Structure 1
Amino acid sequence: MNFHDDLKITMHKYVKMIYNITKSFPKDELYGITSQIRRSSMSVILNYIEGYARRKGVNCKVYINFLEISYGSLKESKYLLYFSYEQGLIKEIDYKEILKLNDKVGKMLWSIIKK
C-alpha cells in the first residue's frame, strides 16, 4: 500500500469514527455541534482527495492549498472534539482514540505540506 492509500484509509476511519461518536449526541445539537464536527471531519478527506486529483504539473500550488485546507479542517474538528469531550458528550476512551487518529492524519498531512 502506498502513502496516498494509507492516508485516505486513515482519514476514512477518522470520519467514520466521528460519525459513530456523534450518533449519541443530543438531538438538540443536530444542527449545531453535531453538524459542524461532521462537516469539518468530512472536509479533511474531501479536500485531500480533490487536491490529490489536481496535483499534476503546474497545479502543485493548488494541491498544497487543498492540503492546507484539509489540515485546517482537521484542526477545527480537533477543537470540536475537545469541546464535546469537555461538555460530556464524548466518553474519555473514545476521545483518546479519536485524538490518536487526528494526530496521525495531521502528521501525515503535514509531512506532505512541508516538502
Structure 2
Amino acid sequence: MRDYRKLRAFELADQLAMAVYKCTSTFPKEEMFGLTSQLRRAAVSGPSNIVEGSAKSSQADYVRFLEIAYGSVCEVEYQLSLAQRLSYLDEKSATEVIAIANEAARVLNGLLRSLKSDS
C-alpha cells in the first residue's frame, strides 16, 4: 500500500479542495445546486481518487485512479475560469485558486508520466 500523504500531488489536490470550498462560499445562492456543487464535487474528487488509488494493489489500478484525479483537477481549472468570467470570483481569489489548480495538474501529470515510463 502506498502512502498518499507523502505525495506532493495529494498535498496540492487537498489544498485545492480547501480553497474551492472557501471561494465558493461567496457564490450566489442560485448557484448552490449548479456551479458551486459541481466545483466542490470535482475538487473533492481529485484528492479522493489519489487516496483510493493509493490503496489499490496493482500499478495499473493506481495509475487509473491518478488519471481520474488529474481529470478532476483539470475540470476544476475550467470551472474556476468560468466562475471568474461570471464575476463570481474576484481577480485576486481567482488567480490564487487557479494557480493551485495549475500546479496540482502539473504535478499529477508528472507523476503519471513517471509511473507510465516505469511500466
State the 1:36 CA deviation.
Answer: 0.2
* Residues in 2 aligned to 1:3 and 1:106: alpha-carbon distance in whole angstroms: 17
Structure 1 unaligned blocks of 5 or more: none
* Residues in 2 aligned to 1:40 and 1:107: alpha-carbon distance in whole angstroms: 17
Q: Which residue number in structure 2 is paired with residue 77 of structure 1? A: 76
* Residues in 2 aligned to 1:47 and 1:11: alpha-carbon distance in whole angstroms: 10
CA change 1:35–1:84 in 2 (3 A) is same
Q: Which residue number in structure 2 is paired with residue 97 of structure 1? A: 96
State the 1:8 CA deviation.
Answer: 2.4
Counting matched residue pairs gives: 111
* Residues in 2 aligned to 1:9 and 1:73: alpha-carbon distance in whole angstroms: 15
* Residues in 1 aligned to 2:15 and 2:113: alpha-carbon distance in whole angstroms: 24
* Residues in 2 aligned to 1:107 and 1:45: alpha-carbon distance in whole angstroms: 14
Q: Classify the secondary structure of the residue corresponding to 2:75.
A: helix
Name the aligned partner's letter for residue 96 of structure 2: E
Q: Which residue number in structure 1 is paired with residue 50 of structure 2? A: 48
Structure 2 unaligned blocks of 5 or more: 115-119
Provide the alpha-carbon RMSD of the alignment: 1.6
Q: Which residue number in structure 1 is paired with residue 16 of structure 2? A: 14
State the 1:108 CA deviation.
Answer: 1.3
* Residues in 1 aligned to 2:5 and 2:17: alpha-carbon distance in whole angstroms: 18
TM-score, length-normalised on structure 1?
Answer: 0.90
TM-score, length-normalised on structure 2?
Answer: 0.87
Q: Which residue number in structure 1 is paired with residue 117 of structure 2? A: none
